[in-house]
A and B are shown apart, each in its own frame.
Chain A
């Protein structure tokens, strides 16, 4: 069950492709992360506000709220504006992801050595104070 409390190792992932989910679940699990998946941008926003995950990964092509709009909404909300966001998409949209406020862009398909490393480095790059404040 998803945690209701801040967890420094919980990642929220908005992804609809079952194969991508399985790969993320497996390799992030191997790296010590807990992963919660949602199907659409609206659910991602609501879960982010509620559980405030360590990091959010989102595809752009999502129903209800697309991944880029999700980034902007997360950045506009004081509760979620400091959570790092990775846009992980089949679309070549690094520029648009940056403009929307994402911290990094990764292009599909999934390669664990790149994906897991990028997430670990983004988390490590977060100021400790900001993390603590976020969890307060």
Chain B
């Protein structure tokens, strides 16, 4: 409730909740980002999803975050789960604070009364709670269970109307949890009156599950559309907001500085090195030398004192360290100079979590060079080809705007880079495309060819390369 006292009257607005923000945090920074800054204060929101989708955990994370001095938070459990069961599992989460229970967070099991008196009993229960507790947040878990108690459509609608009128008149933010499906949005009247609708969903993918957080509706908010992956941890929901293309800053101009790839002879083929902030697709079959070039590019960055990130899904850390030492580099020194080696097992990959982790590292360390080894692992982690394409496009745009020079390795089936949807798309999106080949039976012959450099002339010849203890280099 906003307040404006006019000049001749001095009302102390610090009493009560006059300082409340217009938006209420969910207690989850990533969810708040997706919601456009949190939930609108004094709104009515539905959190829908199948059993086990994370609805209750999300609501509990929210209430314990917002519990504090002043008005308490009321959590009505209805017919879906008995109160002792709710509280027993709640204790396993780090946000749970026993000191807040019973004073700042009040759980009430209204299931028995609703079972006895039916859905209309909810309204007097709410009125009584408002008069006796003055709750700033009310959660009803499950509201669908209450709804299903009403014997007729007319009674359901009346109950929803009366509840909405009451919750709109009183300054409280309400969350109605329920095991609704997408089809229910058109059928149940509570969806028409809700200010916000969130869905938590789960999809089986082989031996693992993928969970998604989606906002269907949030009045008065610029929210981030689409499906955002999440995991449930002992901290609550760990959400990975979907990567979207960055806004191009006003006055943005591509960098006019060239940097070395750290590979003997390659800079000359590229017309003097890579333009800073460009993305290079480095393709080739297994054993052609992609990882070696990627490492040389990364180690050159470290040598120049540039924070460098090497995202590796191919070789485990021990294998990679051995490779680095085999190239004659001092790994500890390179790491001290700014090299960050990150390994993630392709088996455990979830593209959203990898991307979010990568951007956190980029922001925290001010990364200037980046290697992803290899894109195919990200592709295999993505269940939706269009989603992968959108991610890759957004990635390249972020790198360009942030002036991060990137090398993205991709394994080809033969000595060609086309014929695969992801590779074709990346060839188009990348500023530079390099192709390594490997052939020969008695003697292995490796070559490198520059297929494309944006904004630069380049060597058009196929050059033979050599991999030695000093790394990969171009032969004359």
Contacting B8 at CB < 8 Å: which of A97, A103, A106, A111? Answer: A103
The interface size of chain B toward A, counting residues with CB under 8 Å, comes to 30
Query: A99 — nearest CB in chain B belongs to which residue?
Result: B6
Evaluate contact between B5 and A104: CB separation under 8 angstroms: yes
Type the 1/0 row for B129-152, where 1 means its CB is closer than 8 Å to any CB of A.
011001000000000000000000
Q: A23-B170, A115-B1 are in contact. Are A122 and B16 (CB under 8 A)?
A: no
Residue contacts A-B, CB under 8 angstroms, 11 given? A23-B130, A105-B4, A109-B171, A110-B1, A110-B170, A111-B1, A113-B17, A117-B11, A118-B5, A121-B11, A122-B5
Instruction: Of the listed stretches A4-12, A14-22, A38-46, A62-70, name the one at the interface; the rest are far from the partner chain.
Output: A14-22
Query: B4 — nearest CB in chain A belongs to which residue?
Result: A94
Please classify the interface of chain B as helix (H, G, I), strand (E, B), loop, or mixed, using the class held by over half of its residues.
loop
Residues of the B chain whose Cβ atoms lie less than 8 Å from the Cβ of A125: 8-10
Type the 1/0 row for A65-81, where 1 means its CB is closer than 8 Å to any CB of B.
00000000000000000
Residues of the A chain whose Cβ atoms lie less than 8 Å from the Cβ of B168: 19, 109
Q: Closest Cβ of chain A: how far from B299's Cβ, in Å?
A: 59
Residues of the B chain whose Cβ atoms lie less than 8 Å from the Cβ of A112: 134
B377 within 8 A of A: no
Q: Closest Cβ of chain B: how far from A70's Cβ, in Å?
A: 16
For the complex with contacts A17-B169, A106-B4, A109-B170, 4 further pairs of A-B residues with Cβ separation under 8 Å are: A19-B168, A92-B2, A114-B15, A114-B16
Contacting B3 at CB < 8 Å: which of A22, A26, A27, A114? Answer: A114
Evaluate contact between B1 and A109: CB separation under 8 angstroms: yes
Q: A102-B6, A113-B15, A118-B11 are in contact. Are A19 and B1 (CB under 8 A)?
A: no
Residues of the A chain whose Cβ atoms lie less than 8 Å from the Cβ of B9: 84, 103-104, 121-122, 125
Residues of the B chain whose Cβ atoms lie less than 8 Å from the Cβ of A18: 165
Complex-state Cα separation, A27 to B169, whole angstroms: 14
Q: A102-B6, A104-B6, A118-B5 are in contact. Are A110 and B169 (CB under 8 A)?
A: yes
Evaluate contact between B169 and A20: CB separation under 8 angstroms: yes
Evaluate contact between B166 and A111: CB separation under 8 angstroms: no
Complex-state Cα separation, A108 to B270, whole angstroms: 65
Q: Closest Cβ of chain B: how far from A125's Cβ, in Å?
A: 5
Evaluate contact between B169 and A19: CB separation under 8 angstroms: yes
Residues of the B chain whose Cβ atoms lie less than 8 Å from the Cβ of A108: 1, 169, 171
Residues of the B chain whose Cβ atoms lie less than 8 Å from the Cβ of A19: 165-166, 168-170
Type the 1/0 row for B151-187, where 1 means its CB is closer than 8 Å to any CB of A.
0000000000000011011111000000000000000
The 7 closest A-B pairs by CB, nearest first: A113-B16, A107-B2, A19-B169, A111-B171, A94-B4, A109-B171, A111-B1
Complex-state Cα separation, A113 to B283, whole angstroms: 66
Residues of the A chain whose Cβ atoms lie less than 8 Å from the Cβ of B130: 23
Residues of the B chain whose Cβ atoms lie less than 8 Å from the Cβ of A134: none
Type the 1/0 row for B1-35, where 1 means its CB is closer than 8 Å to any CB of A.
11111101111110111100000000000000000
Evaluate contact between A114 and B127: CB separation under 8 angstroms: no
Q: Closest Cβ of chain A: how far from B357's Cβ, in Å?
A: 41
Complex-state Cα separation, A23 to B168, whole angstroms: 12
Evaluate contact between A110 and B15: CB separation under 8 angstroms: no
